[in-house]
A and B are shown apart, each in its own frame.
Chain A
Amino acid sequence: DTGVSQDPRHKITKRGQNVTFRCDPISEHNRLYWYRQTLGQGPEFLTYFQNEAQLEKSRLLSDRFSAERPKGSFSTLEIQRTEQGDSAMYLCASSLVGLANEKLFFGSGTQLSVL
């Protein structure tokens, strides 16, 4: 169990550029979540996958955001035409559905700064 990995840890980009983040969940986990966290706030739900199926997207996730989880393993979150308001930490978490004590395991996040 190597935990949830996120790459990169930091990303600085200019407004209007596209960025892509990667998340590698714990290998046997079938559920994967993306959250966004801004300074002074708790994580806000963006989207989640059950295996390779994206089952829910928050209204926070505009059409500039897209997430994929091919083959039900790693996931990518892409932001197109970034805006300064996209600056935040993007957290990935995974869990194994079906356990009585199901719990989220988080990665260390990707800190995005849009200049």
Chain B
Amino acid sequence: AQTVTQSQPEMSVQEAETVTLSCTYDTSESDYYLFWYKQPPSRQMILVIRQEAYKQQNATENRFSVNFQKAAKSFSLKISDSQLGDAAMYFCAYRSVRVEGAYKYIFGTGTRLKVLA
């Protein structure tokens, strides 16, 4: 069974600085999707970034980028030029591409990011 591990319960970053959130996962599959979701105090989960495992190029979305290390099963999120609005819980998630597993997103336990003014 696949697992997702986020070893940092909480992180802090100064406004305008850069922070990296860590995520590791375990799977025997060769193709899959990885995601970072943000959950602000309003509670609505929002997709931040998505990575297909078959793509070697790391995904980027504006100030958000990932460092995808497939062999190491590592998927970290880098937030550049941190803003107060980035303060939230961040969840790493895994999704299989196999038909029988494609419906199930597996989430980590989350990292609470605090942004200091």
Contacts and interface: CB of A to CB of B under 8 A. Distances in A.
Nearest to A101: B50
B42 A40 contact: no
Contact of A109 (B4, B35, B43, B103): B43
Interface residues of B, number: 21
Given A31-B103, A48-B103, A103-B50, A42 B91 contact: yes
A42 B109 contact: yes
A33 B105 CA distance: 10
Nearest to A55: B103
B54 to A, nearest CB: 12
Interface string B9-48: 1000000000000000000000000010100001111110
A12 interface: no
Given A42-B107, A42-B108, A45-B104, A108 B91 contact: no
A45 to B, nearest CB: 5
A91 interface: yes
Contacts of B43: 89, 108-109
Nearest to A110: B43
Given A44-B107, A48-B103, A106-B46, 8 more contacts: A31-B103, A42-B4, A42-B110, A103-B35, A103-B47, A104-B45, A106-B37, A108-B42
Interface of A: 3, 31, 33, 40-45, 48, 50, 55-56, 89, 91, 93, 101, 103-109
15 contacts: A40-B109, A41-B110, A42-B4, A42-B91, A42-B93, A43-B91, A45-B104, A45-B106, A48-B103, A89-B43, A103-B50, A106-B37, A108-B43, A109-B43, A109-B44
